[in-house]
C-alpha cells in the first residue's frame, strides 16, 4: 500500500515567500495545496477569491495536515478604509482560517507575523525577544499583533499546534519594498547618504525563513499548543554594511556618503517619511536563541542569501 503524503495548504502561494517555500516543501515530501486568488494553471491550486471573516475554507482544508498562512494585507496604509481592510484580512481572516483548520482536524498551523509587533526600532534597548511586551507600530503591526492574540486564545481551546513566526525584512529573488529599492539604487550607482549610520539591523534571507518553517513542521512542540519565534540571519549588521555587501555580490561599488544622522532624521520628518528613519537607519536587533534552541540553523549566510537574491531567475 502506498503511504499518503502529508498535505500542506499554503496561502499567499503566488507571493514572494510562497514561490520560494513551495518547491522546498515538495522536496521534503509534502503534497502542496496552493491557495490563490486567481488560477495560474498549476497543480494543486484551490481558488480563494478573498480572505476575510466569511471565507469558506471547507474544500481547501479537506485532508490537510498543516497550514502555512503567508497571505496578508500589506503596504496599503494610505488606502481609503485601510484600517477596515487590515482588520478584515489580517485579523478576522486569519482567525476564520485557523478556526476552520482546527474544525477540519488540521494538526499544525504556521502563521507568518512580523517583527513590527515589537515596534520599528530597539534603539537603546536590548535585542527584541519573544518575551517582550508588544508595542506594535502602524496598522499592519497592530493587525498582526491582534491576530497573534486571537491565535493564542484559539490554541488554548483546540488540539492544533500553532506557531507564530516574526521575521524582519525578508530579502531574496523577487522581493519588493525596501530591498528592491536598495538593489535598484546600488545597481544604478546612485549616491546614498547613509555612510554615517552606525546601527545594527536584523535581516532574513527567504531561504532561512523557509527552512525554519519546514523545521517547525517537522518538529512541532510536544507540549505547548502555541509558540512564537523570532527568525533572522545569524549576522546582524549596519545598513551601510548591508548595502556594501549587496554591492559586492552584484559586482558594483557602493556610493555611500556621510550625512549626520540627526540631519537625515530632520529631512525625513519634513517630507513625512519619519518611519523610513526607523526602517532603514534605526537599530533592529533580534535575539534568535529560541529558534536556534529548537535545533534549527540558518541555511545560508547573509552573503550567500544576497547572492541568491540577485540571481536572474526565480526559484
How far is it, in rounded angstroms, from Cα 79 to Cα 199?
A: 32
pLDDT by residue (tens digit) across 185-219? 999 999 999 999 999 999 999 999 999 999 999 99
Answer yes or no: is 307 within a domain.
Answer: no
Domain membership of residue 94 as a residue range: 7-172+202-232+285-301
Task: Provide the pLDDT for residue 171.
Answer: 96
Answer yes or no: is 149 within a domain.
Answer: yes
What order do you get walking across the sheet with 226-230 strand by strand?
45-47, 31-36, 7-11, 66-69, 108-112, 161-166, 226-230
Task: Provide the pLDDT for residue 76.
Answer: 56
Answer yes or no: is 278 within a domain.
Answer: no
Task: Provide the pLDDT for residue 38.
Answer: 87
Cβ-contact 242, 201 below 8 angstroms = yes
Cβ-contact 163, 151 below 8 angstroms = no
Answer yes or no: is 289 within a domain.
Answer: yes
Which residues does 205 contact at the CB level (< 8 Å), separation at least 6? 170, 171, 172, 233, 298, 299, 300, 302, 304, 305, 306, 308, 309
Task: Provide the pLDDT for residue 273.
Answer: 59
Q: Give the count of domains, the chain.
A: 1
C-alpha distances in Å from residue 309, one per residue of 67, 134, 206, 246: 26, 31, 9, 10
Task: Provide the pLDDT for residue 270.
Answer: 67
Set 86, 140, 171, 277: catalytic member? 140
**Whether this model's pTM surpasses 0.75:** yes
Show the low-confidence residues of the chain (pLDDT under 50). 1, 77, 313-315
CA Rg, the chain, in Å? 20
- Structure-block grid coordinates of residue 78: 494610505
Answer yes or no: is 181 within a domain.
Answer: no
What CATH number does the domain containing 211 carry? 3.40.50.720
pLDDT by residue (tens digit) across 18-53? 999 999 999 999 999 999 988 887 788 999 999 999
Answer yes or no: is 256 within a domain.
Answer: no
Active site residue 171: no
Answer yes or no: is 21 within a domain.
Answer: yes
Answer yes or no: is 275 within a domain.
Answer: no
Task: Provide the pLDDT for residue 315.
Answer: 44
Amino acid at each position: 500500500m502506498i503511504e499518503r503524503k502529508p498535505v500542506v495548504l499554503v496561502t499567499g502561494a503566488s507571493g514572494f515567500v510562497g514561490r520560494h517555500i513551495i518547491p522546498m516543501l515538495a522536496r521534503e515530501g509534502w503534497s502542496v495545496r496552493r491557495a490563490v486568488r486567481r488560477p495560474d494553471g498549476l497543480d494543486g491550486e484551490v481558488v480563494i477569491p478573498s480572505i476575510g471573516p466569511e471565507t469558506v475554507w471547507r474544500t481547501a482544508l479537506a485532508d490537510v495536515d498543516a497550514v502555512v498562512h503567508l497571505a496578508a494585507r500589506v503596504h496599503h496604509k494610505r488606502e481609503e478604509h485601510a484600517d477596515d481592510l487590515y482588520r478584515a484580512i489580517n485579523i478576522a481572516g486569519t482567525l476564520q482560517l485557523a478556526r476552520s483548520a482546527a474544525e477540519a482536524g488540521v494538526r499544525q498551523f504556521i502563521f507568518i507575523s512580523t517583527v513590527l509587533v515589537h515596534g520599528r526600532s530597539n534603539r537603546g534597548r536590548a535585542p527584541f525577544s519573544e518575551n517582550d511586551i508588544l508595542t506594535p507600530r502602524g496598522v499592519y503591526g497592530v493587525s498582526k499583533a491582534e491576530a497573534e492574540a486571537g491565535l493564542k486564545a484559539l490554541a488554548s481551546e483546540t488540539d492544533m499546534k500553532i506557531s507564530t513566526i516574526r521575521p524582519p525584512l525578508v530579502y531574496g529573488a523577487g522581493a519588493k519594498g525596501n530591498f528592491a529599492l536598495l538593489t535598484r539604487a546600488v545597481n544604478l550607482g546612485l549616491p546614498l547618504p547613509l555612510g554615517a549610520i552606525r546601527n545594527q539591523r536584523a535581516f532574513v534571507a527567504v531561504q532561512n525563513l523557509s527552512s525554519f518553517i519546514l523545521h517547525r513542521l517537522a518538529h512541532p512542540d510536544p507540549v505547548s499548543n502555541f509558540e512564537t519565534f523570532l527568525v533572522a540571519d545569524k549576522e546582524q549588521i549596519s545598513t551601510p554594511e548591508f548595502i556594501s555587501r549587496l554591492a559586492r555580490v552584484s559586482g558594483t561599488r557602493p556610493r555611500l556618503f556621510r550625512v549626520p544622522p540627526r540631519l537625515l532624521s530632520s529631512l525625513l520628518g519634513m517630507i513625512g517619511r519619519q518611519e523610513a528613519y526607523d526602517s532603514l537607519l534605526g537599530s533592529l536587533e533580534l535575539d534568535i536563541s529560541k529558534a536556534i534552541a529548537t535545533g534549527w540553523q540558518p541555511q545560508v549566510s547573509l552573503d550567500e542569501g544576497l547572492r541568491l537574491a540577485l540571481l536572474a531567475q526565480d526559484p
